[in-house]
Amino acid sequence: MDLESGRPRHEQISDWLREHIEQGTYEIDEKLPSEKELGERFDVSRVTVRRALQTLESEDYIYRRQGLGSFVQERRAAQGLVRLTDFAQDMAQAGLEASSKVAHHAPETAPPDVAVHLADESKVMRLDRVRLGDRQPIAFDRTWLPMFYAQLLEGHDLEHETIYHILETEYDIPVLRGQYRITAANAGAAVAEPLGVDEGQALLLIERLSLTEGEKRVYFQRRYYRSDRVAYELELARDSPEHGSGEHGMPLRDFEPVFETDDDV
């Protein structure tokens, strides 16, 4: 590659490497050419190469190991949580193919800490699913539904259809609102195995109560995200000086989970 005149050389080198990583020329965890090799290839100093690599590292395209070199990082794709979406929409926005594996689907007596979210419904359907993005485990969902909504899901392919989609398209029951609680949890045996992580590993836990018209409770869900494959990015908008910050603080502009998968480069 001949470097163009008029643009900083380190930017052109980072552009070239970024393009080849995105095209899959360099795969995840593959070692990149050394600083010396890149310097000789582009006829630039190691300082220039180092600046290009620092740019890619800050963008999460690569990671570096002291004494070993630079390696391709799992790439992240973002989508928004500010809008109420289902898993398939999240994955589509992130550029990933969504699918699920049903691990459990049977009626049970609602645990007390679940019943309180479902207006004290005693008999519920519990649905456990491993959620996949590009065939890689990203999350484990445990969902409890009142039997009225659970029976509407019978006969549907819950490995490829979402609850939102079934209720809205088949029965004209829109999910209008969600209440979220985000915290941390350690992976128990029932969650660790399907997610492919060690028991006790830290996970990101999101509890969600979904509601339809008339404040009717459609389901309560606990989603356990692999903490190495999702993080949340928060953006706040500051009010203009003449209006002040307001008594409720800075308004939320965007709140996005950022996903990683083994195939996303």
| Segment 167-211, tens digit of pLDDT | 999 999 988 888 888 899 999 999 999 999 999 999 999 999 999
CATH class of the domain at 76-260:
alpha beta
- For the chain, where do the domains classified as CATH 3.40.1410.10 start and end? 76-260
Quote the mean pLDDT of the chain: 83
The CA distances from residue 99 to 137, 138, 195, 235, 263, in Å, are: 10, 10, 14, 29, 15
Q: What is the pLDDT of residue 81?
A: 42
Helix (H) or strand (E) holding 54: helix 46-58
φ, ψ dihedrals at 171, nearest 5°: -125, 5
- For the chain, where do the domains classified as CATH 1.10.10.10 start and end? 9-72
**Fold of the 9-72 domain:** Arc Repressor Mutant, subunit A (1.10.10)
What average pLDDT score do residues 48-74 get? Answer: 87
Reported as a pLDDT band with limits 50, 70 and 90, residue 72 is very high
DSSP 214: G
Amino acid sitting at position 172: D
**Exposed, middle or buried: residue 162 (CB in 10 Å: 0-12, 13-18, 19+)?**
buried
Q: What is the pLDDT of residue 84?
A: 53
DSSP 156: S
Which residues contact residue 28 at a Cβ distance below 8 angstroms, ignoring those fewer than 6 apart? 72, 73, 74, 262, 263, 265
pTM score, two decimals?
0.63
Helix (H) or strand (E) holding 195: helix 189-195
Residue 3 has pLDDT above 70, yes or no: no
3-state secondary structure of 36: helix
3-state secondary structure of 4: coil
What average pLDDT score do residues 155-174 get? Answer: 92
Q: What is the pLDDT of residue 60?
A: 78
